[in-house]
Amino acid sequence: MKQARPLAYQGKPTTEPATTTRGHSVSYLASRIRRDRPDIAKRVEAGEFFSIRSAAIHAGIIKNRVQDLQPPQG
């Protein structure tokens, strides 16, 4: 059986956590709303939304996840 060749250098090892390109913090959501939906950003400033999260749900940036509390049938 042929010996497998060693893997190529995959980069410098790090102890820092990996960063993501998306998030759900208030500052991230507010920035996304200002960038992608300036119409909704104006409504947020006018006080039409209860929270940044509700504005982000309305803008389609995040999904409103509701758990189904019904027991499974069967």
Does the pTM surpass 0.75? The reply is no
Residue 9 lies in a domain: no
The residues, any chain, with a CB within 8 Å of residue 42's CB and separated by 6 or more, are: none
Q: How far apart are CA 29 and CA 61, in angstroms?
A: 8
Positive or negative CA dihedral for 51, 28, 23, 38?
Answer: positive
Residue 66 lies in a domain: no
Residue 68 lies in a domain: no
Residue 4 lies in a domain: no
Give me the number of domains the chain comprises: 1
Look-up of token digits 């909704």: 40
Nearest to 56 by CA among 33, 31, 25: 33
Residue 51 lies in a domain: yes
Task: Return the pLDDT at 60.
Answer: 93
pLDDT digits (tens, 9 = 90+) for 1-54: 677 776 666 666 666 665 555 677 999 999 999 999 999 999 999 999 999 999
Residue 16 lies in a domain: no
Q: Is the pLDDT of residue 72 over 70?
A: no
Task: Return the pLDDT at 65.
Answer: 76
Residue 50, domain extent: 26-59
Residue 52 lies in a domain: yes
